[in-house]
A and B are shown apart, each in its own frame.
Chain A
């Protein structure tokens, strides 16, 4: 790269330019020169040395924070996200609409145990998590993680939209089961000849037909706080991976309703704490599309039709880069994000989004889904090792 400025006539060495300076002065030309292969049979290599569909090295560490119920540090290249999950109790007596919104017949334990098929349970489940706001993710970018983001500032538009993306992905994937967050209480049946202690009230099998119904006394609310410690592009993948790892790590203490004190008591015995059982393992992969022609976006008359664009394959005009770093994100506008899960080896798309341009078409998206499902295997390994 550096020699291209000095070709032709001999120049004094002081006028030659190191690649890092070329990268700052002509960022678009620099990345384009890297991506254009010298011969057509060679693959493109990005400025950071990766292949176009290669992700950065990902490392996951869980249980890093001692005061949180679950925590994780995820590092994707130079992007680092820390996530802590804190569980707090929400008493049903504090929910103003509790008696109105929850029809008692719906909470019938015989229904929840046997009669309900998994589908209706899913819906009931998601309704409660969403209606009662049992999951509260918040992402903070004002940690001095990047030069452009001032530390201590109010949440930027990017931080807010990432928070929303995480929340809506938690809701659409139904990742957390509402049943893990419920604290049940079985009132003792005073009518029966065999008298129960209040502490034994959790058992469902002892319930008799005439006895009082099992009821929910409280919910666990999970506060999911994510801090991006270092931001080098692709914050969403790192943030979502850290949420996933932290939720897998989360242990909720054994809690029960104490009828004498009329309060919830928690056990401090670590062995009694239970983990969350998550639904699936959705993993996000982000991409950006780099256009070879920097001016293509604004010349009115030359934007070709979609059909013509497909035919014109002579010179490569776009490169889809997986897991973009900060430098590449600054040079591209078109983004794509695919969240996939696998069930019995079959890839299921949970979320797919693409905006900011018109270069990525359905054929490209099909390839991106394949790349994402490979990424799923890699990240699953990283998550299970820790």
Chain B
């Protein structure tokens, strides 16, 4: 499995490259924050930082679908960022996500297949930029096939053939942060997929949301994967200290 790369870019405050192993989407994220906003866009909520998200598709200019996914990302990330910490009110956190590889999106295509990768890239670049967060999260895509099987991370072609598609983002504390489902399904199916999402994101071992980093077992959960990526980065950043001991 390809591990995400943190702090790859020099200019922005934080960056991350995330490649989804199953769907093949490659997202490059950059975060600047806190920065002064050029216009007084903070007029509505001066007590909090404004979170701005920009999504750039790989081959074309951003269109209406990108506006829509930006809106979703803004509402999810804006809730997770601690926008009232010192230095953040009246300023902005600018998140730019470029789709560097993967299938092209056509007009009117569902954006659900790429949403988990965008969420992961945004989270990792915010961690890399040291933006204070109230919790971390991880997201997963599920498809339900005609026979009723739940497939995790279906490829874009498999996603088109599936009866319903579901994206879940589960926080590190077990909350349901985001759900986007489309297709044709009933609530019992949704509940099954939700349970599956909880186990995929949190790992089945611990119920208290605190993922214990054991050998091998933890990497099965998505929370563990995010944690490992950050730990690896910290390990390499502080390698000089380890060497001096």
Contacts and interface: CB of A to CB of B under 8 A. Distances in A.
Contacts of B208: 305, 307
Interface string A285-302: 000000000000110100
Contacts, number: 135
A356 interface: yes
Interface in A263-306: 297-298, 300, 303-306
A227 interface: no
B54 to A, nearest CB: 11
B82 A160 contact: no
Contacts of B175: 306, 309, 358, 361
Contact of A348 (B83, B171, B186): B186
B181 A157 contact: no
Q: Is the interface of B mostly helix, strand, loop or mixed?
A: mixed
A20 interface: no
A344 to B, nearest CB: 13
Contacts of B63: 160
A362 interface: yes
B167 to A, nearest CB: 9
Interface stretch (A38-46, A79-87, A165-173, A237-245): A165-173
A355 interface: yes
A350 B182 contact: yes
Interface in B28-77: 48, 63-65, 67-68, 70-72, 75-76
B190 A347 contact: no
A135 B171 CA distance: 37
Interface string B170-198: 01011111111111111100110010000
Interface string B195-232: 00000000000011100000000000000000000000
Contact of A349 (B76, B135, B178, B181): B181
Given A164-B65, A355-B76, A362 B181 contact: no
B178 A354 contact: yes
A335 interface: yes
B106 interface: yes
A366 interface: yes
Interface residues of A, number: 48
B176 A361 contact: yes
A107 interface: no
A171 B160 CA distance: 12
Given A157-B70, A355-B180, A358-B175, A297 B79 contact: yes
A360 interface: yes
A270 to B, nearest CB: 32
B132 interface: yes
Interface string B105-146: 011111100000000000000000000101100000000000
A349 B185 contact: yes
Contact of B183 (A163, A167, A172, A365): A172
A15 to B, nearest CB: 28
A347 B186 CA distance: 7
B181 A298 contact: no
B185 A298 contact: no
B194 A362 contact: yes
B114 to A, nearest CB: 13
A369 interface: yes
The interface centre, meaning the residue of A161, A335, A347, A361 with most chain B CB atoms within 10 A of its CB, is A161
B184 A133 contact: no
A110 interface: no
Contacts of A361: 175-176
Given A303-B135, A335-B75, A358-B79, A168 B176 contact: no
A306 to B, nearest CB: 3
Contact of A350 (B70, B107, B183): B183
Contacts of A349: 181, 184-187, 190
A300 B131 CA distance: 13
A357 B186 contact: no
A300 B173 contact: no
B55 to A, nearest CB: 12
Interface string A322-355: 0000000000011100000000001111111111
Given A164-B68, A333-B75, A351-B181, 19 more contacts: A130-B106, A130-B109, A131-B106, A157-B71, A168-B110, A171-B108, A171-B110, A297-B134, A303-B173, A305-B173, A305-B174, A347-B187, A350-B183, A350-B184, A352-B182, A355-B72, A358-B171, A358-B175, A365-B187
